[in-house]
Structure 1
């Protein structure tokens, strides 16, 4: 599957502004997830995806999916909803099992994975700079785990870190499909989010029992997650990918872990530690190196 670029000519400033909107909204996601900590993660995921579908509903319109190959139709209508469910639910669960700021930082290594996927799909090989950047970025994530590993293991946090990495892989694949797809995902996003919401509801009933609507602060946080980070931000990111340069757009996402960690510290939901800014800096440097 090769990337297909739109013939529409749009100012590069549009893609940059759209990417910045997505980055800003993604940065507040960890804070909102912490506010909804008392809600079961799959129930929170379903609420978030439903709110995201409603937020993007005005953008819904018919798309010529029938002109796509069977492989692409399966990728769009099944693969992308599964990636959305995997990304959002893994992120939410990971932040329950591991410290929020560290889990968020690991999840936001996804831009470097996206760059590697883009290069491989376009040229069939990886550039050394990209591999070196990936190693630098993941060394930042390793700094967060090293003290716990040396003291006898990461314990229960290991599952949280693993799920955060799984969320990163899902977001990288989602972004790559959004860039490579022969049609824009924006007009399909409300339906894709509804499909993902339905899949999550089934999983929630099966694994968590009865579905109950969150209340109070958790309800507001869940709706805000859907409207912002998983609604408007996803539309903005899709537009940025379709009409911008992949490396430039991807590089703007590298500031998300720093902004997210800063907001958590300022809100008193995470303790400032020298490892956190050091790891965030390594992730950003590594992603910039890979993006070049």
Structure 2
């Protein structure tokens, strides 16, 4: 006899595998962003989103968006690209103003924000586990800001931490929207990324003085960011959210800050002190607590 595999079980393990792919690619994002430090943040954002659009182009197909209400169409074609632009550009800007590992860790508090959004949209209230988890996670993030807070004033690093937190909010909203939208975002992703790329290009022309295109390592790192963390990873994450158990899939994302920080330390781009691993552990524990 041949073993019979339940479609539900197969879908579950497929979703877990897709989530793991996304986690591994996202873990490499801070390292690649540091390799592209010679390019301006908004130019790097535009290059990354263009590469991501090209990487996901084979997945493009019609999904019946035109049959949705105008409110949904407006949210998908304008709201989602703005969230993508905000998430990616804030991430790169935050890493320029603050130490890369610390800024990346603050950005990766987005899973706990996603859990809180999901809980509130489903139950119309926040569960105590989610609130406690959020407090633990943000206690870890606050630990990174302690030296600046004790010295007084808002330095460039503090501003960078705030912008990194803005990136976390954008990613949480994007993930929540991807879970609740009436159509899957994956077939729309190439067009959504192109719209976000156009926004980033316009913002770069207005706000950044340099118009030189990235070259050398910055160019290759930008393309790699688009192909991996903001291309294949976004597709894999959307699939995992759509077809997998949200609690299990969400918990896998909690390993990203630890892996990302480890890669930066191994590459010699970040200095390991007691605050970084302690904060990473607090963020992961907080996310796990919130997702229970």
Shorter-chain TM-score tier: over 0.9
Give the secondary-structure state (helix, strand or coil) at the position aligned to 1:11: helix
* Higher mean displacement: 209-218 or 252-261: 209-218
CA contact (8 A) 1:115 1:246 kept: no
- The alignment's TM-score, normalised by the length of structure 1, stands at 0.96
How many residues align structurally?
286
CA contact (8 A) 1:105 1:257 kept: yes
Q: Which runs of 5+ in 1 are unaligned?
A: 1-6
CA-CA distance at 1:153 after TM superposition: 3.7
Separation in 2 of the partners of 1:202 and 1:11?
Answer: 41
Separation in 2 of the partners of 1:236 and 1:188?
Answer: 14
Separation in 2 of the partners of 1:77 and 1:211?
Answer: 27
- The alignment's TM-score, normalised by the length of structure 2, stands at 0.96
* Higher mean displacement: 141-150 or 114-123: 141-150
CA contact (8 A) 1:145 1:154 kept: no
| Aligned pairs for 1:103-114 within 5 A | 103-114=103-114
Q: Which runs of 5+ in 2 are unaligned?
A: 1-6
Corresponding residue number in structure 1 for 2:150: 150
Q: What is the root-mean-square deviation in Å for CA atoms of aligned residues?
A: 1.3
Corresponding residue number in structure 1 for 2:4: none
CA-CA distance at 1:244 after TM superposition: 1.1
Question: How far does the alpha carbon of each residue in 1:129-180 deviate from its partner, in whole angstroms, 9 at most, with x for none?
Answer: 0000000000000111112211234511111000000000000000000000
Give the secondary-structure state (helix, strand or coil) at the position aligned to 1:211: coil
Question: How far does the alpha carbon of each residue in 1:92-150 deviate from its partner, in whole angstroms, 9 at most, with x for none?
Answer: 00000000000000000000000000011111011000000000000000111112211
Question: How far does the alpha carbon of each residue in 1:162-204 deviate from its partner, in whole angstroms, 9 at most, with x for none?
Answer: 0000000000000000000010000000000000000110111
Give the secondary-structure state (helix, strand or coil) at the position aligned to 2:56: helix
| Aligned pairs for 1:60-79 within 5 A | 60-79=60-79
Corresponding residue number in structure 2 for 1:268: 268
Corresponding residue number in structure 1 for 2:83: 83
Does residue 216 (structure 1) correspond to residue 216 (structure 2)? The answer is yes
Does residue 234 (structure 1) correspond to residue 234 (structure 2)? The answer is yes
CA contact (8 A) 2:264 2:270 kept: yes
Separation in 2 of the partners of 1:155 and 1:73?
Answer: 41
